[in-house]
């Protein structure tokens, strides 16, 4: 098993790995498509293990976290929330986001209507759909930090609207990547430094991102389709080599 406490053979960096990987993907997209993280406006739905670290790492890179919600609602501040204090309040002390001072209270439904550069669903599946918000969301990029937050029909609507969707199984892979690193460290009986974990995670995320980006540009397809092209191609090649 992975995700163990450090004293039982866990890995440094595992707790924040998914959120860190999300921000690595955002950085790579930012570099390639001219949407700088510094000064950009980020809205995050969900402030658990993933959303809280996305907020922290994006804030460290100069982004303005303008809206955050958890299961009970959240806050909006167009000038940017005080992320370090909010992280301590909501993630470390497990208090509701909406009880934090420094913004206007909003519901999860209202979050979808806040204009932003990066919209990061980081909680539940199916929250972006045709019936409620797919045609009204105003963002430049949708970053799927949660698993399956966008329904297939909503995905198609975003394509029609020209809004790129960075898919979950690329963007939020950081957690399982560092779980793999934990397994490797256990086999070797040699723990890695945090710097090594993050360097290797950065390399894996950027390599995967670059492969998908190249398909997007070459074949003029959505990001999710490009990622499936690579994944299915690898399965097909493995089956061919096995003689199936």
Residues facing residue 67 across a β-bridge: 43, 76
Task: Give the CA distances from residue 60 to residues 39, 42, 118, 190, 213, in Å, rounded to whole numbers and listed in that order.
Answer: 11, 13, 15, 30, 25
Residue bearing tokens 């979808």:
112
Mean pLDDT of the chain: 96
Cβ-contact 57, 19 below 8 angstroms: yes
Model's pTM, two decimal places? Answer: 0.94
At 119, which helix (H) or strand (E)? strand 118-121
Arch. (CATH architecture) of 17-171 = 3-Layer(aba) Sandwich (3.40)
* Helical residues (DSSP H) of 142-222, grouped into ranges: 152-161, 168-171, 174-188, 194-219
Sequence ranges of the domains in the chain: 17-171
User: 103, 77 in Cβ contact below 8 A?
Assistant: yes
Q: CB-hemisphere CA count at 13 Å for 105?
A: 8
Do 141 and 117 touch, CB atoms closer than 8 A? yes
The pLDDT of residue 40: 97
Between CA 15 and CA 10 the distance in angstroms is 10
Tens of pLDDT, residue by residue, the chain (244 residues):
899 999 999 999 999 999 999 999 999 999 999 999 999 999 999 999 999 999 999 999 999 999 999 999 999 999 999 999 999 999 999 999 999 998 999 999 999 999 999 999 999 999 999 999 999 999 999 999 999 999 999 999 999 999 999 999 999 999 999 999 999 999 999 999 999 999 999 999 999 999 999 999 999 999 999 999 999 999 999 999 999 7
């Amino acid at each position: 098993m992975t995700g163990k406490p450090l004293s039982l053979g866990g890995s440094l960096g595992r707790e924040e790995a998914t959120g860190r990987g999300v921000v690595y993907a955002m950085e790579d997209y930012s570099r390639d498509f001219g949407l700088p993280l510094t000064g950009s406006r980020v809205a995050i739905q969900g402030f658990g293990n993933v959303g809280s670290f996305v907020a922290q790492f994006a804030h460290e890179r100069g982004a303005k976290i303008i809206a955050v919600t958890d299961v009970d609602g959240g806050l909006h501040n167009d000038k940017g929330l005080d992320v370090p204090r909010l992280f301590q309040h909501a993630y470390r002390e497990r208090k509701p986001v909406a009880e934090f001072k420094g913004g206007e209270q909003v519901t999860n439904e209202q979050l979808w209507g806040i204009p932003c550069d990066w919209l990061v669903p980081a909680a539940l599946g199916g929250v972006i759909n045709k019936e409620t918000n797919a045609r009204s969301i105003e963002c430049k990029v949708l970053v799927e930090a949660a698993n399956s937050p966008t329904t297939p029909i909503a995905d198609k609507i975003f394509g029609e609207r020209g809004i790129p969707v960075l898919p979950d199984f690329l963007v939020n892979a950081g957690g399982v990547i560092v779980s793999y690193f934990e397994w490797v460290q256990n086999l070797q009986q040699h723990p890695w430094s945090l710097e090594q974990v993050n360097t290797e995670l950065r390399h894996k995320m950027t390599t995967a991102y670059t492969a998908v980006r190249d398909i997007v540009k070459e074949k003029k397809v959505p990001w999710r389709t490009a990622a499936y092209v690579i994944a299915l191609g690898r399965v097909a090649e493995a089956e061919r080599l096995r003689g199936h």
